[in-house]
Amino acid sequence: MKHLPATPLRVTPFFDLETYMLLSGQRRIDAQSAQDLETLWHEAFSHLNVYQLGEKKGYLVVYLDEQFEAKADAEWTDAPHSSYQRQTVGQAVIMAAVNELLPDAGWAGCAPVPEPNKILKRSLEKIGLSFSNQGVLSAKYGILTPMPYAGGCESCFLENSCPKRQMAKQG
C-alpha cells in the first residue's frame, strides 16, 4: 500500500514569551513565572516530534507525544493553573516549530489542515498517529499542514468550521 516516507526533522524553536502571553491571555508575567515557563518550555521541547511526510511536496506534522498529554491531563485535577500553563506552553512550542519550518504560516497566522485521504492516513499511521475524515489529528497537541506552505484559510479543509474564521465573521 502506498504511503509517504516520514522524515524526522530537527528544529530548535526559541521560547517566545510574547506568543505564550497571547495564547494565555496574560498581560504581565513576573520574573519567577517567566523562569518557570522557560523550564516548562524545555520540558515540552523534549516531547516534540516533527516529521515531513513526502519528499519535495507533502506535509509537515508537529506534535507533542502522549507522555506530555498524560502529564497535562493528570495535573488538571490537582493543579489546574499548572496544567493550563503546561498546555499553553505546549501550544506555543508547536507554533514556534511550525513557524521555524514554514515562516509563511506564521505570517499568515494559519497552518491550513489538508483534506484527509488514504495515503495521508496510512503515512500518519506509520508514525503512530491517526487523522479522521473530519480533519482531526489524533495528537491533542499537534498540527498537520501542507509542506511547502500552500496558502492560508482558502486552502484549509476546515475553512467552514474554523473557530478563527467564525470569530472574524462575528467581530
pLDDT at res. 56: 87
Q: What is the DSSP string of 82-150?
A: HHHHHHHHHHHHHHHHHHHH-HHHHHHT--PPPPP-HHHHHHHHTTT--B-TTS-BSSSSEEEEEES--
pLDDT at res. 17: 84
Map out the domains of the chain with their CATH numbers: 6-170 (3.40.109)
pLDDT at res. 14: 87
Q: Cell match 510574547: residue?
A: 18
**Residue 165 neighbours by CB distance under 10 Å:** 15
pLDDT at res. 15: 86
pLDDT at res. 110: 82
Residues of the chain with confidence (pLDDT) below 70:
163-171
pLDDT at res. 137: 96
pLDDT at res. 165: 56
* Cα–chain center distance at 116: 17
Sign for the pseudo-dihedral over CA of 111, 116, 119, 123: positive
pLDDT digits (tens, 9 = 90+) for 139-168: 999 999 999 988 777 777 877 777 665 555
Q: Residue 14 in contact with residue 96, Cβ under 8 Å?
A: yes
Coil, strand or helix at 35: helix
